[in-house]
Structure 1
Amino acid sequence: MFRNKIENRESGILLYGITPPKSQNSEEKIDTITQKTISRIEKLNIDGLVVYDLQDESSRNPNERPFPFYQTIDAFTYSNVNLKSLTVEKIVYCSVGKLSEQQLLLLLKNNPGENSTVFVGVPSKEHPIQLPLYRAYEIWRQANLNNYLGAVAIPERHCLKKNEHLKLVHKMESGCRFFITQCVYNIEYVKNLISDVYFHSQKHNTPVPTLIFTITPCGSLKTLKFLDWLGIHVPDWLTNELANSQDILKKSVDLCIKIAREIIDFCQEKNIPFGLNIESVSIRKEEIEASEALLRAVTEILETKGIRNTLTEA
């Protein structure tokens, strides 16, 4: 479903994002986590499953990380081996900076053709790097694979540098077919990026890329601090709403639904092909359930607006 919708420039794409288990876990625990994950994902009405490739971002932020960093199972391995029984299309993140050219080529060639890939660069200029992003794109093109290639879009970066839309254009020229944002909580930042993407395409008569916006429930004040550490801008008023809520998780889901609705309306107004990626990156049962509740709520919005039909999507 995912690749068909990208190809046809359809809106209403729904993705669900997960993080592989920690690599330090025992094989038995990894298998238990995986089976629970498969059981959950099979019940979701989604177009694709995003499998993240985590990297240590401490080079970008010198402040103490609210949550310790743990290496996870390689995203390609987890997607293609552990989650092999899942028939849903997968979008596998790949942090290319840590790889050699030969390692990247091998990963791509071993990735099933129905799966897509999102290349991610290093967190900062100070981060050790083996393979620049531009060279990774060249390798992907030279490999002439059947996989679809995507990239990351960051509204916060656009707010600072005002050129994220131009980066997207350049990445499209390098072969990228879609863009997934990091988690968004500032709707103004999102609208600014959408607007600049849209009017640049109008001015230069170029296609508008498919934009997929990531939305994540926030279950605690510590998670709220972690969002800030990651560089995700949460407006002061929204921070106050969450920090002073009796049920921060429920409040965040309610706010995420409002953000999703505004994104949907704005993209529809501009006739931009769009999607939403609901993240589930916590191991807490309550937060996992909250992400699924958010997914259902977003699905209902899309159905009500006639953008998505459950009967034909399932």
Structure 2
Amino acid sequence: MFLNRIKSKDSGILLYGITPPKSQTAPEKVSEIAEKTLARLHGLDIDALIVYDVQDESARTAEERPFPFLSALDPFDFAREYLQPLQIPKIIYRPAGKFTREELRQWIIDLTSQEFFPVFVGVPSPDFQPITSLPEAYQIWQEYRENSVIGAVTIPERHAVLNDEDQRILDKMSNGVSYFISQCVFNVNYAKKMLADLAQTCEKQQHELPTVIFTITACGSKKTLHFMEWLGIHIPDSVKENLLASENILEASVDLCLQIAEELTNFCTAKGIPFGFNIESVAIRKDEIEASIRMVNQISEMLKSQGIRK
């Protein structure tokens, strides 16, 4: 079970991430999308399914969004009403700052009754005044921690600029967070630097290491690549040039993602950092989604061949 694997600090955890259908989608179409999602994920070797909360991040940057923002259905409602046939835990993202303490408490009660798990995320723009702070949200969750685990987001790109992601992680661990899901990794050196500093800080402050789950995403087009950069994912110039020059950008990106997964596996294993992977598709194109499913299988086999995943 996902809960036990996180509490035991097992390595080799595999997650898959999806976004709910758009809020304007007709109910019958939502059912159709859910059925296709269930068919894709049935039998897939994953420990849990992430259902993201989609936020408008346009205020974060002055650059025009490559794809228009469309609000999505509530991830908890979508998972509860449409994804129950998938008999694995669901991890639900929630921007805590948009809700009152009582709203968050009721949400956590509903969540735990479904055996779902929360990940609290920050607000989409720095000038948004949160109704409830992240520490306050974690404090509410503490009441239900006996039968739950809570995750948080980590951003290697932020560490490259501010050099404080290791301390941010420890601060969240002090609030009960036991695992961290990264932003999509395309710059493996950023991820490794963050991990090295985290391991050093944990040793210095005599803290146990958290589980770090790296998000892996294929890229199938120049526009998707642009969108990833807009989201704040750092893609090294050499990587970008190779992808854009390739005859098949999707297959080239899949090869790169598998290399990144193997490199991070070796790095974490050497440093004794419990780790896993979250595979997703940023785009909704069929070929990119199918590529993400293939990557789950390939990463699973890689982990099993090294004796990390059973």
TM-score normalized with structure 1 length = 0.95
Alpha-carbon distance in structure 2 between the residues aligned to 1:111 and 1:84: 13
Matched AA of 2:280: E
Determine if contact 1:17/1:281 at 8 Å carries over to the other structure.
Answer: no
Q: Which residue of 1 aligns with 2:138?
A: 137
Q: Which residue of 1 aligns with 2:204?
A: 203
For residues 247-297 of structure 1, the C-alpha deviation after alignment (integer angstroms, 9 at most, x for no partner) is 111100000000001100000000111000001343211011100111111
Aligned ranges for residues 116-265 of structure 1 at < 5 Å?
A: 116-142=117-143, 146-265=147-266
Structure 1 stretches of 4+ with a deviation exceeding 6 A read none
Determine if contact 1:191/1:263 at 8 Å carries over to the other structure.
Answer: yes
Gaps of 5+ in 1: 310-314
Matched AA of 1:24: Q
Tell me by how many angstroms 1:143 deviates.
5.4
SS of corresponding position for 1:269: helix
Q: Identity over the aligned pairs, expressed in percent?
A: 47
Does 1:67 pair with 2:47? no
Alpha-carbon distance in structure 2 between the residues aligned to 1:41 and 1:9: 25
Tell me by how many angstroms 1:86 deviates.
1.5
For residues 115-163 of structure 1, the C-alpha deviation after alignment (integer angstroms, 9 at most, x for no partner) is 2111001133123532221221122224556321110000000011111
Alpha-carbon distance in structure 2 between the residues aligned to 1:45 and 1:240: 33
Alpha-carbon distance in structure 2 between the residues aligned to 1:214 and 1:76: 21
Matched AA of 1:241: N
Matched AA of 1:240: E
Alpha-carbon distance in structure 2 between the residues aligned to 1:163 and 1:152: 14
Report how many residues are paired: 309
Q: Which residue of 1 aligns with 2:26?
A: 26
Determine if contact 2:53/2:94 at 8 Å carries over to the other structure.
Answer: yes
Determine if contact 1:105/1:143 at 8 Å carries over to the other structure.
Answer: no
Q: 1:271 to 1:65 in 2, by over 3 A?
A: same
Matched AA of 1:152: V
Determine if contact 1:16/1:280 at 8 Å carries over to the other structure.
Answer: no
Alpha-carbon distance in structure 1 between the residues aligned to 2:120 and 2:35: 27
Tell me by how many angstroms 1:39 deviates.
1.5
Alpha-carbon distance in structure 1 between the residues aligned to 2:242 and 2:20: 31
Matched AA of 1:51: V
Q: Which residue of 1 aligns with 2:13?
A: 13
Determine if contact 2:3/2:148 at 8 Å carries over to the other structure.
Answer: no
Q: Which moved more, 1:124-133 or 1:200-209?
A: 124-133
Determine if contact 1:198/1:270 at 8 Å carries over to the other structure.
Answer: yes
Q: Which residue of 1 aligns with 2:292?
A: 291
Q: Which moved more, 1:194-203 or 1:206-215?
A: 194-203
TM-score normalized with structure 2 length = 0.96
SS of corresponding position for 1:91: strand
Q: 1:294 to 1:62 in 2, by over 3 A?
A: same
Determine if contact 2:20/2:74 at 8 Å carries over to the other structure.
Answer: yes
Q: Which residue of 1 aligns with 2:87?
A: 87
Tell me by how many angstroms 1:43 deviates.
2.1
